[in-house]
Structure 1
Amino acid sequence: MLLFFALGLLVHFVFFASIFDIYFTSPLVHGMTPQFTPLPPPAKRLVLFVADGLRADALYELDEDGKSRAPFIRDVIMHEGSWGISHTRVPTESRPGHVALIAGFYEDVSAVAKGWKENPVEFDSLFNESKYTWSWGSPDILPMFAKGASGDHVYTYSYDAEKEDFGAHDATKLDTWVFDKVQDFFHSARNNQSLFSKVNEEKVVFFLHLLGIDTNGHAHRPSSREYKDNIKKVDGGVKEIVSTFKHFYGDDGKTAFIFTSDHGMTDWGSHGAGHPSETLTPLVAWGAGIKYPQKVSAQQFDDEFLKEWKLENWKRQDVNQADIAPLMASLIGVPFPLNSVGTLPVNYLNNTDLFKAESMFTNAVQILEQFKVKMTQKKEVTLPFLFTPFKLLSHSKQLDILRRARSYIKQEKFVEVVSLCEELIELALKGLSYYHTYDRFFLGINVAVGFVGWTSYASLLIIKSHSNLTRGASKEVKKPHHLLPCSFAAISVLVSCFLLIQACPWTYYVYCLLPVPIWYAVLREFQVIQDLVKSLSAFPLSHFVGYVLIFTLGIELLVLSFFYRYMLTAGLIAFAAWPFLTQLWTRAKITSLSWTFFSLLLAVFPLMPVVGREPDLSLVMGAGLLVLLLSLVVVTTLIKRKITFIKEELLVHLLQMLSTVLSMYVVYSTHNSLLKKQGLPLINQIVSWATLASSLVVPLLSSTILFQRLFSILLSLMSTYLLLSTGYEALFPLVLSCLMFIWIYMEQETLQQSGVSCKQKLTSIQFSCNTDIAQFRQLYLDDIRRAFFLVFFLVTAFFGTGNIASINSFDLASVYCFLTVFSPFMMGALMMWKILIPFVLVMCAFEAVQITTQLSSKGLFLIVLVISDVMALHFFFLVKDYGSWLDIGTSISHYVIVMSMTIFLVFLNGLAQLLTTKKLRLYGKLKSHFM
């Protein structure tokens, strides 16, 4: 059986990894010829300001007094330049946002995981194409453009990462540091002849990365005074820098300025998903080559923003974020970044119609070059009779469009040129997507076939080894026909030859060959399938249909809960009615009422707003007090009932209660300290990390008696969870645990109802590593319900408070008791542990259910595996590569979440067994805890 679980883990890892090969592959190609406009550019130099985390509405809107919080930028909009909205794509994170701005392409999601500061893949950028680039700002952003550049012409100046402190007294210092360093740089250039000559060259870029707004947004939220004051500070700094440039270059009119943002931010201070507050960022351009403001009487925008911002009379020109890269390249006359997929926004250009037409033509050729390389690469590794070219952009069509465009330029039909080039760009981008996803259907079919085969095999193994469904049927084991292994071996050879001829990557061999042994294993169990059919033929058809219908509805409910959290509420309400629909109500009234009460109480959480909207420490304190009260009640009850409760056990519980009190104090004092801008106190940080470290050790000091150990685990994990909470979610694991305790009682009652005798009372059952295998029984149909309950409770633990419903619902304030200095991986790890704590509580309760119902964990785990795989197969077919980027990202993340849950279930099961069965001694000799 151990071999089966190892193989199962490997198979699921392959299925999990397949999504990255199918949907998360890099869109980049190499080998294109650089393209640039053969006309003098309007600007010699470009200044790029990126205000990290700045929302469009926060910049453009007026304050309570009807005044702009960015008066200089607003004055530019009205008197000097052009403005609009830059629409970003998911994920709305700093790295992909800056890559889109500076390199002109939308980085694949996997690149974010491959490296934060380094380049997971080499890509061309505006900085690389420039003569020189000087950049100032965060050490998380600047290095990836410098290390990807050829030669030594991209210079970076970064502050220490420790400055990115969300609990700092004043995060605006991140921006003032940049402004001050730029001023110092130009002061030095006056006295340094070598530097002076460099900054006076053509094709020069200056990049100012301003992180203060993002930091203040995370720490205080975008509605805060700190966030809005930071915008004023940035506006003033931009004004000073513009003045410095004009003074240094003698106001030669050859400097172009771009002010924008990499992404926005939600009202609760996070980003990463596709909410408009995250995807709508400002774009203001002025200076050399930029069109002056245009007054209009009406504009074609459906939103109400223009009236709110009092900008309805100044023409707004929206762009996609990747369009900014070709705009900047066109302004200073450098080749368009080779991997750029942006379309030049010609309406921003203040130049001749010839220049606009030539620039658009260059843009079209540059994207067409990528299409040609992509098509050639795919054609070279595909058998000629299997290759299907992109029909909308054939070779003759390309030549025709280019010839017509060049002819229109000669005839000075510049409007037609722009229109024709836009058509060519649109077709080339569709073609790029076509070849990028060329193998997607082929790989998807192979993975789906393997998925169905694996689920079928797991189901047959359950029936064969853990059930009585085939009892009475033929027990004769027939060896597989010798043609069966020969046939599958021949299929493997044919598939391998097919992949070898097409020079496919090694991962393709895995996805295409894995289904072969899986289906061979399924067909080897043909006798079990025959016996199952015979057994089911004697089963009443109405009962069989009823069970299948209920199982299907249950699976669909779980699938829908990923899209609509309130479906969990519907499921919990159905759970609440369960005792009254069976005979449980007549056997255990108090237990049934308790089950109903806590099911309904837990059903409230999915209806609550996503965690992170507004912090409410009173709820965190209330959860802590409830934990303390519950601790006192349990300890008192155990002593009164004269249950074995030695001094060591009492000491452990007192230690855990003290830990809870300390956690409450740390949460309260940290919150007050950050409000006063005094940062995170060192003693609070030490206590927080100590609590986290001890939370997995202290429960091992308690008794292994079932309820005592489970309660000890709850107390320890709740101390950590309080430190990671900001609001109502602090109550969630407490309510969930109460329901889990009742669940254990309920399952023992259902077992007794079905006629299986329970040998021990719950108050005396112990967790043990050496469970007597003779106590295990075969699986019944009711065990499918138990497995479904586990999966449902795991999904509820995942989505119950909305803290994993989408990337942008993460609230960085959750980790402020541990650290406030920006560290994406450490913060991510802490948030992941917060998510896993309810998982661990459910899995520990499930361990108790297995023991009390005398059920083999292997058999029940196999049912859970089948349910999870059926859900995963649902999401595999629901994955989209069309529609909005939010829809695409959500569909992929659902599959990833379910597959992760299936894989991590093995590790969670191991962690739960460790927490429930292991025993450490606090002092002296290990004392007996047996009755």
Structure 2
Amino acid sequence: MLLYIILGLLVHFMFFASIFDIYFTSPLVHGMTPQFTPLPPPAKRLVLFVADGLRADKLYELGEDGNPRAPFIRNIIMNEGSWGISHTRVPTESRPGHVALIAGFYEDVSAVAKGWKENPVEFDSLINETKYTWSWGSADILAMFAKGASGNHVYTYSYDAKSEDFGAQDVAKLDTWVFDNMKEFFHAARNNHSLFSKLNEEKIVFFLHLLGIDTNGHAHRPSSREYMDNIKIVDEGVKEITSMLKDFYGNDGKTAFIFTSDHGMTDWGFHGAGHPSETCTPFVTWGAGIKYPQKVSAQKFDDTYLEEWKLENWKRQDVNQADIAPLMACLIGVPFPLNSVGILPVDILNSTDLFKAESMFTNAVQILEQFKVKMTQKKEATLPFLFTPFKLLSDSKQMNILRKARSYIKQKKYDEAVSLCKELINLSLKGLSYYHTYDRFFLAFNVVLGFVGWISYASLLIIKSHCNLTRSVGKEVKKPSHLLPCCFVAIGILVALFLLVQACPWTYYVYCLLPLPIWYAFLREFPVLQGFVTLLLTFPPSRFVGYLLLFILGVEVLVLSFFYRYMLTAGLIVFAGWPFITPLWTRAKSTSLGWILFCLLLAVFPLMPVVGRKPDIFLVMGAGLLVLLLSLFVLTSVIKRKDSFVNEELVLHLLQMVSMVLSMCVVYGTHKSLLKKQGLPLLNQIASWMILASSFVMPLLSPLILFDRLFSILLSSMSTYLLLSTGYEALFPLVLSCLMFVWIHMEQETLQQSGISCKQKVSSIQFAYNTDITQLRDLYLDDLRRAFFLVFFLVTAFFGTGNIASVNSFDLASVYCFLTVFSPYMMGALMMWKILIPFVLVMCAFEAVQLTTQLSSKSLFLMVIITSDIMALHFFFLVKDYGSWLDIGTSISHFVIVISMTIFLVFLNGLAQLLTTKKLRLYGRSKSHLI
């Protein structure tokens, strides 16, 4: 069995990892020749302002009083420069946003594992190409470009990481610190001849990373007064820096300015996905080499922003975020970043037509260089007869376009040259994508082959364990020939040689070779498969087909629920009607009423807002009060009992109720303190961590009687969940647990109807460690329904409150009872535990269902895994790399969520067994006395 679990985990980890090899590999290549425009640049220096987390609409729109929120930037748009929207890509996080801005490419997801801090791959950037760069801001952002820069020409100035405190009274100081330190730096430079000399060099960059707006958005949301006031502070700071630089350089007209943002932010104060509020960021540029504002009578865009912002008469020039890197390189005359895929927005440049054409030609050659290197690498790693080149951009076509573009420039046909260079860039980008995804079909085929084999083999194992098919038909069926293993070994050797010749990565060997032992194991059980087919022929076809169609329909509903959460509501309403189509309604009417009530109550949650909900401290308090009332009811029933450990259970129960009251006080006190901008009180922080730690221990002290242990787990979980709640979601685990309690009763009633005697009542059943009930009974079709119920409840736990609907639906306010200083790993761990708590409650209830229905936990758990795997296979085929970035990100995240859930089930199953079967000593009494 251990070998089987290891094989299963290996298959699922392979399936999980495959998505990163297929869709998330690094696009970077190395070995290109640097390219730069061979003409004098318009600017000597460039100033890059990046207002972290600033939404385009919040900057451009007028305030409630009808005045500009950022008057200086508004004046630049109308009188001095060019403006538009910079469209970002997912994930809308700080690191990938800055990489796109400064390096010109869209970073692969491997950076997630490094927390967006370290360089997972080496890349070239604008900063690396400059003569000198001075930067001020957050150490996390500045360090990654300083680390990747060659030589000793990048200077960074950062504040303490603890300054990023979401509960602080004034987080705008993160921005004023940057402005003040830059002003002090230039003031000191007047008396420092060496520094003064460096500052007067050409090809220099000043980078100001402004984190205050992002921090205020997380803490107070983008519609808050704090967020709006921070925009005004940044606007004033940009005005002062611009004035200071003009004064320092004697207004020489050689300074270019760019003001933009790395990403936006949702209304609920988060980012990471592809909502327009996250992907639409401001882009304003002025100074040397930049066109002055262009008045227009009309302009068309797919949005209505222009009318809302009252800027319809000023020409809007949108760019992709990666386009800003070549623009900056062009302005100061440095080589374009080697890995940049940005297209130079020539319409923004205020320069000669010759300079525009030469710059566009440089941009085309720079991207074409990447295409050539990528093609060469793929050609060398592929057998000649299998290599299929990108036909739209052959060697001859490359040369023809370059020759023709150069000819146009000589003939002063600059517009034609620019147009031809754009065509070459688009073909090169398509070719880069072609070679980047060259092995995609080959990998996907092998991964699917292995996963289908796993699902088939796991299904066969369940059949073999419970149907005794081999004994009934084994004498009639011949065993597989000894040639079978030899064939598989030969195939394995051929596959390994094929991969070796092509110098494939080691992961390719896993994807291609793992299906072989799985399918070999499946074919070895061929007699079982034949026996099962024979058995099906004798089975009443209508009932089997009906169950099969219901199962397929159920799986499709679960798949659709990832796109439309109301499908969970529909499923729960159907579940509510279950007692009416069985004898349950007449046999156990009170239990059936409870089932109907809690199914309908739980069905309300998927209809609530997925994200964007406002904090409601009173709903959190109400959830705590309901749990306390339920605890009092249970407490009275405990007092009435005369068991040997009633006193100990009373003490534990009272302690958990005190913990619940303490949680409510901490939540309320923290909420009030943060509203007053007094930060997180230390006592509240200590109490929160103590409650979290005790929640893992308290259930293990409770009796092993089924409902006593489950209720203890609920109380401990709710104490922690309240601390991590901000609104209606605090009620979710309570309603879910009530439904789980009723489910346990319903399943035992269903089992009794099937003619299987239950030796104990549910109220007297005890959890026992290592209970072996493998052979108590065979499987029934009802067990397939039980497995489906579990998967459905797990998906409901996943999406019930919208906490995991997408990356951007996390609310950092959930962890403010524990910490307010930004710590991505700690905050991520706390939010992950909040997500897992409903999972744990469902899995513990499932342990009880397995115990009360006298079924092997291994077999029922395998059925659950198979159901989840079928869903994962659905989403594997739904993954796409075309369309909007929101569609791409959503399709990939759905697959990752489902396959992660399948892997987590193994962990959650072990955790549920620990919580339900383990008993710790209390008051020094022996373990045996308590059980």
Q: TM-score, normalised by structure 2?
A: 0.99
Residue of structure 2 equivalent to 1:457: 457
Residue of structure 1 equivalent to 2:766: 766
Gap change, CA 1:733 and 1:388, over 3 Å in 2:
same
Residue of structure 2 equivalent to 1:332: 332
Matched residues in 2 for 1:774 and 1:69: separation?
Answer: 69
Equivalent residues of 2:919, 2:927 under 8 A apart:
no
2:253 is the counterpart of 1:253 = yes
Match runs of 1:34-73 below 5 Å: 34-73=34-73
Match runs of 1:685-764 below 5 Å: 685-764=685-764
Residue of structure 2 equivalent to 1:865: 865
Residue of structure 2 equivalent to 1:383: 383
After superposition, give the CA deviation of every residue in 1:731-768 in whole Å (9 maximum; x if it has no partner). Answer: 00000000000000000000000011001111111111
Counterpart AA for 2:485 = P
Deviation at 1:780, TM superposition (A): 1.1
Matched residues in 2 for 1:642 and 1:922: separation?
Answer: 19
Residue of structure 2 equivalent to 1:144: 144
Deviation at 1:302, TM superposition (A): 2.7
Matched residues in 1 for 2:721 and 2:47: separation?
Answer: 46
Matched residues in 2 for 1:533 and 1:140: separation?
Answer: 61
Residue of structure 2 equivalent to 1:804: 804
After superposition, give the CA deviation of every residue in 1:811-858 in whole Å (9 maximum; x if it has no partner). Answer: 000000000001111111111000000000000000000111111110
Matched residues in 2 for 1:477 and 1:460: separation?
Answer: 16
Match runs of 1:212-231 below 5 Å: 212-231=212-231
Equivalent residues of 1:263, 1:280 under 8 A apart:
yes
Q: Secondary structure at the match of 2:425?
A: helix
Counterpart AA for 1:633 = F
Counterpart AA for 2:684 = N
Residue of structure 1 equivalent to 2:81: 81
Matched residues in 1 for 2:27 and 2:475: separation?
Answer: 55
Gap change, CA 1:847 and 1:787, over 3 Å in 2:
same
Residue of structure 2 equivalent to 1:814: 814
User: Mind listing any 5+ residue stretches in structure 1 that lack a counterpart?
Assistant: none
Deviation at 1:497, TM superposition (A): 0.9
Give percent identity, aligned residues only: 83
Equivalent residues of 1:32, 1:338 under 8 A apart:
yes
Deviation at 1:479, TM superposition (A): 4.0
Matched residues in 2 for 1:677 and 1:459: separation?
Answer: 57
Matched residues in 1 for 2:790 and 2:858: separation?
Answer: 14
Residue of structure 1 equivalent to 2:10: 10
Equivalent residues of 1:96, 1:112 under 8 A apart:
no
Equivalent residues of 1:470, 1:532 under 8 A apart:
no
Q: Secondary structure at the match of 2:136?
A: strand
Equivalent residues of 1:463, 1:470 under 8 A apart:
no
Q: Secondary structure at the match of 2:190?
A: helix
Matched residues in 1 for 2:53 and 2:471: separation?
Answer: 65
Comparing 458-467 and 281-290, the one that deviates more: 458-467
Residue of structure 2 equivalent to 1:129: 129
Equivalent residues of 1:638, 1:645 under 8 A apart:
no
2:604 is the counterpart of 1:604 = yes
2:851 is the counterpart of 1:851 = yes
2:396 is the counterpart of 1:396 = yes
Match runs of 1:480-499 below 5 Å: 480-499=480-499
Residue of structure 2 equivalent to 1:794: 794
Match runs of 1:646-657 below 5 Å: 646-657=646-657
Q: Secondary structure at the match of 1:805?
A: coil
Deviation at 1:644, TM superposition (A): 5.5
Matched residues in 1 for 2:478 and 2:793: separation?
Answer: 41
Match runs of 1:392-541 below 5 Å: 392-467=392-467, 472-474=472-474, 478-541=478-541
Matched residues in 2 for 1:302 and 1:872: separation?
Answer: 35
Comparing 6-15 and 634-643, the one that deviates more: 634-643
Counterpart AA for 1:261 = S
Deviation at 1:922, TM superposition (A): 2.2
Residue of structure 2 equivalent to 1:320: 320
After superposition, give the CA deviation of every residue in 1:377-417 in whole Å (9 maximum; x if it has no partner). Answer: 00001011100000011111111110110000011111111
Deviation at 1:209, TM superposition (A): 0.2
After superposition, give the CA deviation of every residue in 1:892-922 in whole Å (9 maximum; x if it has no partner). Answer: 1111111111111111011111111111122
Q: Secondary structure at the match of 1:741?
A: helix
Q: Secondary structure at the match of 1:155?
A: strand
After superposition, give the CA deviation of every residue in 1:6-26 in whole Å (9 maximum; x if it has no partner). Answer: 111111111111111111100
After superposition, give the CA deviation of every residue in 1:56-102 in whole Å (9 maximum; x if it has no partner). Answer: 00000001111011000000000000000000001101010000000
Gap change, CA 1:475 and 1:685, over 3 Å in 2:
farther
Q: Secondary structure at the match of 1:403?
A: helix
Counterpart AA for 1:357 = A
Match runs of 1:548-697 below 5 Å: 548-642=548-642, 646-697=646-697
Deviation at 1:313, TM superposition (A): 0.5
Matched residues in 2 for 1:798 and 1:569: separation?
Answer: 14
Gap change, CA 1:309 and 1:111, over 3 Å in 2:
same
Q: Secondary structure at the match of 2:84?
A: strand
Matched residues in 2 for 1:53 and 1:767: separation?
Answer: 51
Residue of structure 1 equivalent to 2:31: 31
Q: Secondary structure at the match of 1:763?
A: helix
Deviation at 1:638, TM superposition (A): 2.5
Equivalent residues of 2:628, 2:660 under 8 A apart:
yes
Deviation at 1:346, TM superposition (A): 0.6
Match runs of 1:154-169 below 5 Å: 154-169=154-169
User: Mind listing any 5+ residue stretches in structure 2 that lack a counterpart?
Assistant: none
Deviation at 1:192, TM superposition (A): 1.2
Deviation at 1:540, TM superposition (A): 2.1
Q: TM-score, normalised by structure 1?
A: 0.99
Deviation at 1:139, TM superposition (A): 1.4
Deviation at 1:928, TM superposition (A): 6.4
After superposition, give the CA deviation of every residue in 1:567-592 in whole Å (9 maximum; x if it has no partner). Answer: 11111011000011111111100000
Comparing 291-300 and 537-546, the one that deviates more: 537-546
Counterpart AA for 1:28 = L
Deviation at 1:480, TM superposition (A): 2.6
Matched residues in 1 for 2:373 and 2:525: separation?
Answer: 48
Comparing 735-744 and 14-23, the one that deviates more: 14-23
Residue of structure 1 equivalent to 2:271: 271
Counterpart AA for 1:156 = T
Q: Secondary structure at the match of 1:603?
A: helix
Matched residues in 1 for 2:611 and 2:429: separation?
Answer: 38
Gap change, CA 1:475 and 1:712, over 3 Å in 2:
farther
Matched residues in 1 for 2:467 and 2:92: separation?
Answer: 49
Gap change, CA 1:774 and 1:154, over 3 Å in 2:
closer
Equivalent residues of 2:638, 2:650 under 8 A apart:
no
The root-mean-square deviation of aligned C-alpha atoms, in Å, is 1.3
How many residues are treated as equivalent by the alignment?
931
Comparing 15-24 and 434-443, the one that deviates more: 15-24
Q: Secondary structure at the match of 2:140?
A: coil
Matched residues in 2 for 1:155 and 1:689: separation?
Answer: 40
Deviation at 1:541, TM superposition (A): 2.2
Equivalent residues of 1:95, 1:112 under 8 A apart:
no
Comparing 258-267 and 769-778, the one that deviates more: 769-778
Residue of structure 2 equivalent to 1:198: 198
Matched residues in 2 for 1:61 and 1:232: separation?
Answer: 13
Equivalent residues of 1:611, 1:729 under 8 A apart:
no
Deviation at 1:470, TM superposition (A): 6.5
Counterpart AA for 2:44 = K
Q: Secondary structure at the match of 2:762?
A: coil
Counterpart AA for 1:331 = L
Equivalent residues of 2:790, 2:842 under 8 A apart:
yes
Gap change, CA 1:541 and 1:184, over 3 Å in 2:
same
Equivalent residues of 2:774, 2:857 under 8 A apart:
no
Residue of structure 1 equivalent to 2:837: 837
Residue of structure 1 equivalent to 2:101: 101
Gap change, CA 1:416 and 1:660, over 3 Å in 2:
same
Equivalent residues of 2:203, 2:332 under 8 A apart:
yes
Gap change, CA 1:746 and 1:334, over 3 Å in 2:
same
Deviation at 1:120, TM superposition (A): 0.6
Matched residues in 2 for 1:685 and 1:469: separation?
Answer: 60
